[in-house]
Amino acid sequence: MPSVLWWGRFDPAYSRNRILRKLFASLGWQVRDFHPRFAGVADWEARLSRLPRPDLVWVPCFRQRDLAAAARWAQRHRVPLVFDPLISAYDKQVDERAKLSADSARAKRLLGWERTLFQRASRVIADTPAHADYFAEVLGVPRQQLAVVYVGAEEALFKPQLQPARGQDDPLELLFYGSFIPLQGPQVVVEAARLYRGPPVNWVLLGQGPLRAGCETQARGLANVRFENWLPYEILPARIHRANILLGVFGATPKAGRVIPNKVFQSLACGRPVITRSADAYPAVLSAAGHSGLVWIPAGDAQSLADRVSALATNPCELPLLGDAAAMTSQHYFSESVVRQQLQAALAGLPA
C-alpha cells in the first residue's frame, strides 16, 4: 500500500482536506500526518524524529509556510511533493484585498517568494482551470506540473432533497452563507434585498466575517432580511434543505471569477438552485446551459440579483425543476467520483 504524508499545520476537518483524504484512502493510499512545531525548520524536525519515508508528500491548502521545508525534505529523500494551495498569497494581498499595490516593493517581494515556492513542487493542484491559468501565467508554474481537482462536496452529508413544503402565501427563503469576505459580496445581497420588487421573500445571511457588521448596518429597516450565526459543519446540509434558493458569490474581484466556492458545490449537491455571479471557473457548458440549476448574474450587480429572485418568486413552480437540474449538474460535473478521477490523474506520472 503506497503512503502519502500530509505535511504541515493544516486543519484536517476543513472540507477540502476531508474530501481529499477520503479519496486518497479510496485509491488505496495510506494517509499519514506530520504536524511540525515550526514550519520553517520542519525538515530538521522530520530528520531528528526519523520520520519514515513515504511515497508522496502532500502540502495541503493555505500552507505556503510549510512548503519550503517540505520541499527540502522531499528532495533529500527523493520523494515527489504535491502542493494544493487553493489560494495565492500574492493574489489575496494584491488583487483581492488591495492591501498592496502591484508596483510596490513588498508586492514584488511577495510575488518572487511565492513564485519560487510554487515552482519547487513536483505538481501543483488548482481547484479550477481558471486558477490553473493564474498559477501558470502569474506564478510561473510550468503547465505540465499543473493539475485540476475540483473541491466538490461530501456526498455522505450533502444529498438532494425536495423543496420544503410551503403554503401558497408563504414567502420563499433565500440563503446566503459564508465568511463575509469581499470575494463573496454579501453587501450585494443586502442591496438586492433593498432593491427587490416582487412576491414576498425572506433573505437570510448566515455566518461570520469582516463584512458582517457593515451588512447588518446596511440592512437596517429591511424587515425581510435576517442574520444567523455559523452552524456546525455536520448540520449545514439540513439548513440548506430548509431554504428554497441558495445564493453563491457576487464579488467583483479577479479571484471571485477564478473560484467555485464550497457553498456552490454543497448547494448543488443538496439539489438547490444557486444564483451566483458568472465566472470563467465553471465548465463552459454550464455557463451556456439554461437548465443547469445555476442562475447567472453579472458580478456585483445587485439589481440583477433582485430581478432574478423576483422572476423565480413569481414562478415558484420552476424551483423543483431547477433543483433537479442542480443535483444533475453536481452528479455529472462535480461528484466525488469525478473528483476521484481528477485526483488519480493528478498523481499519475509524478516525478521525484
Q: What is the pLDDT of residue 180?
A: 97
Please state the separation of Cα 59 from the chain's center in Å: 17
Q: What is the pLDDT of residue 348?
A: 94
pLDDT at residue 231 greater than cutoff 90: yes
At residue 4, what is the residue type? V
Residue 288 binned pLDDT confidence (cut-offs 50, 70, 90): confident
Residue-averaged pLDDT of the chain: 95
pLDDT tens digits for 36-89?
999 999 999 999 999 999 999 999 999 999 999 999 999 999 999 999 999 999
Residue 134 binned pLDDT confidence (cut-offs 50, 70, 90): very high
Least Cα distance to 292 among 249, 266, 325 occurs for 325
At residue 220, what is the residue type? R
Q: What is the pLDDT of residue 352?
A: 61
pLDDT tens digits for 173-202?
999 999 999 999 999 999 999 999 999 999
pTM of the model: 0.94
Least Cα distance to 196 among 114, 110, 275 occurs for 275
Q: Is 101 exposed, middle or buried (0-12, 13-18, 19+ CB in 10 A)?
A: exposed
Torsion of CA 218, 222, 224, 230, to 10 degrees: 30
Distance between CA atoms of 60 and 302, rounded to whole angstroms? 35
pLDDT tens digits for 321-340?
999 999 999 999 999 999 99
Rounded to an integer, the average pLDDT of 237-262 is 96
Structural domains of the chain in order of their starting residue, each with its CATH number: 3-152+336-347 (3.40.50.2000), 172-333 (3.40.50.2000)
pLDDT tens digits for 294-303?
999 999 999 9
The answer to whether 175 touches 150, Cβ cutoff 8 Å, is no
Please state the separation of Cα 173 from the chain's center in Å: 23
Distance between CA atoms of 83 and 103, rounded to whole angstroms? 27
At residue 328, what is the residue type? M
